């Protein structure tokens, strides 16, 4: 929900609304700001848009707007919201959906939030106090008695029984108190947690619900978590799309989108159906080396997409293109896309790094594609690169100057006098690691393929420590930072061993290890020093911790 500090019935509303239309009266604002049923598209933003912005958005399919009245966990201040704003917005034909962001579930994931008590009796009292505060604020903004007020309860753990009971107790207090104060009690929340839990409250069931399920379905029924047998009489709002930017009449607002079939404050007629989304498409670079492809809804309106080869990439063997998108309605550049544009560079990377630039001069390596990135790349099986981007700019293959990551988890183990090294794989911005250098005292002594994670080395210094490290090499031949050291040190010769070890001791040691027979000269019971010497000879080196 846009105004929350975290991000994620049985009552016949029509009858209530009919009564309210007869009884509500008072100021000029109240005469216009009356509760009624509205069916159509709505949105909410963190702060109430200016009336000029609402006028510009008369070109949109939206005719209902969520407004945040207050609450201890509210993210934004009042901003434009005032009694005059309410009166003007309603007179312009907008319907209002009041929201209140109070205490959140005890098991909510976000930090720095004030939360509901886990004691059920206290939670009920907290719900009543929230209702009192919400009603007071509603009156201060010129909303009449009988207006719906939705409590914004963000998503929380679905497997915590104690948390569920606390939420149910709080909502019970909220619902019963708002009814006493002659307001229509509503609840906004995740279909899978909040709405699921309040749907079992019986007489304390909210009169209206605002179901958050960002599945793109522009309907209030058919949610897998909410039975269609509940809230059937114009008592539902469905938030079907989360935070995104839309531009109408030249004004851009960051919004959540909803479909409304419920009580609102206002007197607007249902809006026209939304215009069809701009179609999917594809465009080439003209040189056969790059293609941009986009899906329906990538841009806010019809757009002109261009893909232009450029020589600004500072690499002799590199390749780069500029991606630009222009809104045909406003003739302005589109700075961010609603869905990723896929950019295929049909040029083998061959050790070049997928890179991005806003101006074609200053370049930064792209990261591998992952959720949350504005742009990321995938190296395809044929060696070419696929880039997914939410922003325009310059994209290209440049000389790889970024070294691969340092190998982690390097460990060593002495096995029959040799050292076995193992490590976890490194990563590189331009593709897989090509090889690993095994460094002996800082100098490469062995090379293994990039798919190898283990090696056995036998070179050790007999009298001084031997230091081994591992470093990764990428396809451009760039070496990464060497791993932590694995140090082999000579084991100390036992003090009681004679300076010259008798021949029988060597022969006895061999026979005990399957080489030859027991020497006749060996004592039947070897002295203690022999066993110390034999153990030292079996492991003359150790790893330093």
Going by C-alpha positions, the residue among 329, 357, 325 that lies closest to residue 339 is: 325
How much helix, strand and coil, in percent to the nearest 5, is found in the chain? 20, 35, 50
CA distance 137 to 145: 12
- The alpha helices in 513-543, defined as continuous H runs, are 528-538
Fold of domain 13-265: TIM Barrel (3.20.20)
Exposed, middle or buried: residue 516 (CB in 10 Å: 0-12, 13-18, 19+)? Answer: exposed
Hey, do 281-398 and 411-490 end up sharing a CATH topology, with the first three levels equal? yes
Q: What is the reported pLDDT for 199?
A: 93
What are the pLDDT digits (tens) for 231-275? 999 999 999 998 888 999 899 999 999 999 999 998 645 445 555
What are the pLDDT digits (tens) for 24-81? 333 333 334 456 889 999 999 999 999 999 999 999 999 999 999 999 999 888 889 9
Exposed, middle or buried: residue 14 (CB in 10 Å: 0-12, 13-18, 19+)? Answer: middle
Tell me the CATH number for domain 411-490: 2.60.40.10
CA distance 443 to 460: 13
Task: State the CB neighbour count (10 A cutoff) for residue 502.
Answer: 14
Pair type for strands 418-422 and 411-415:
antiparallel
CA distance 173 to 130: 9
**Spans of the chain, pLDDT less than 50:** 6-33, 268, 270-271
Provide the strand spans (E) within 328-402. Answer: 332-333, 341-345, 353-357, 364-365, 367-368, 375-379, 385-389, 393-398
Residue bearing tokens 């009245």:
69
CA distance 143 to 457: 80
Q: What is the reported pLDDT for 35?
A: 63
Sorted by sequence, the CB contacts under 8 Å of residue 387 that are 6+ apart come out as 342, 343, 344, 345, 354, 366, 369, 375, 376, 377, 378, 395
- DSSP for 230-261, please give it: SSTTT-EEEEEEEEEEEEETTEEEEEEEEEEE
Q: What is the reported pLDDT for 258?
A: 95
Contact by Cβ (8 Å): 175, 128: no
Going by C-alpha positions, the residue among 238, 191, 233, 242 that lies closest to residue 219 is: 238
Domain map of the chain by residue range?
13-265, 281-398, 411-490, 503-543
| Count of H-run helices and E-run strands, the chain | 9, 28
What are the pLDDT digits (tens) for 368-413? 888 889 999 998 888 899 999 999 999 998 887 778 899 999 998 8
> For 281-398, which CATH class?
mainly beta
């Amino acid at each position: 929900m846009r105004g929350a500090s975290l991000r994620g019935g049985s009552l016949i509303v029509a009858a209530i609304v009919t009564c309210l239309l007869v009884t509500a009266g008072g100021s000029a604002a109240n005469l216009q700001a009356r509760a009624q049923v509205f069916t159509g598209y709505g949105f909410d933003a963190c702060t109430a848009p200016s009336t000029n912005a609402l006028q510009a958005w008369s070109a949109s399919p939206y005719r209902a707007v969520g407004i945040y009245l207050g609450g201890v966990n509210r993210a934004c201040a009042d901003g434009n919201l005032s009694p005059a704003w309410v009166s003007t917005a309603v007179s312009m034909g907008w319907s209002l959906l009041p929201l209140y962001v109070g205490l959140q579930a005890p098991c909510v994931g976000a930090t720095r939030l004030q939360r509901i008590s886990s004691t059920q009796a206290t939670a009920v009292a907290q719900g009543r106090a929230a209702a009192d505060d919400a009603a007071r604020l509603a009156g201060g903004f010129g909303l009449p008695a009988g207006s719906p007020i939705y409590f914004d309860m963000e998503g929380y753990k679905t497997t915590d029984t104690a948390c569920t009971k606390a939420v149910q107790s709080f909502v019970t207090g909220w619902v019963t108190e708002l009814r006493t104060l002659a307001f229509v009690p509503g609840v906004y929340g995740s279909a899978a947690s909040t709405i699921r839990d309040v749907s079992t409250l019986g007489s304390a069931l909210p009169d209206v619900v605002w179901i958050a399920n960002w599945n793109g379905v522009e309907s209030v029924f058919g949610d897998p978590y909410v039975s269609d047998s509940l809230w059937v009489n114009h008592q539902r709002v469905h938030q079907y799309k989360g935070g995104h930017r839309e531009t109408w009449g030249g004004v851009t607002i960051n919004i959540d989108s909803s479909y409304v079939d419920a009580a609102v404050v206002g007197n607007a007629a249902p809006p026209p159906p939304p215009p069809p989304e701009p179609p999917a498409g594809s465009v080439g670079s003209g040189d056969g080396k790059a293609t941009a492809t986009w899906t329906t809804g990538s841009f806010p309106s019809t757009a002109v997409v261009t893909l232009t080869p450029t020589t600004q990439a500072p690499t002799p063997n590199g390749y780069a293109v500029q991606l630009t998108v222009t809104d045909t309605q406003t003739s302005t550049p589109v700075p961010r896309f609603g869905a990723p544009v896929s950019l295929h560079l049909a040029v083998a990377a061959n050790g070049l790094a997928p890179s991005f630039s806003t101006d074609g001069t200053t370049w930064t390596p792209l990261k591998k594609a992952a959720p949350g990135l504005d742009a990321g790349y995938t190296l395809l099986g044929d060696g070419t690169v696929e880039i997914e981007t939410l922003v325009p700019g310059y994209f290209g293959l440049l000389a790889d100057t970024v070294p691969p990551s340092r190998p982690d988890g390097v460990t060593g183990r002495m096995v029959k006098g040799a050292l076995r090294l193992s490590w976890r794989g490194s990563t590189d911005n331009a593709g897989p690691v090509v090889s690993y250098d095994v460094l002996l005292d800082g100098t490469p002594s062995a090379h293994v393929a990039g798919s190898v994670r283990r090696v056995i080395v036998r070179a050790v210094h007999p009298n001084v420590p031997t230091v081994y490290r591992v470093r990764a090499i990428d396809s451009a031949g760039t070496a990464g930072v060497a791993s932590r050291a694995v140090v082999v040190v000579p084991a100390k010769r036992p003090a009681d061993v004679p300076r010259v070890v008798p021949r029988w001791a060597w022969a006895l040691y061999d026979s005990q290890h399957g080489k030859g027979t027991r020497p006749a000269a060996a004592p039947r019971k070897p002295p203690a020093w022999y066993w110390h010497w034999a153990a030292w000879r079996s492991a003359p080196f150790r790893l330093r911790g």
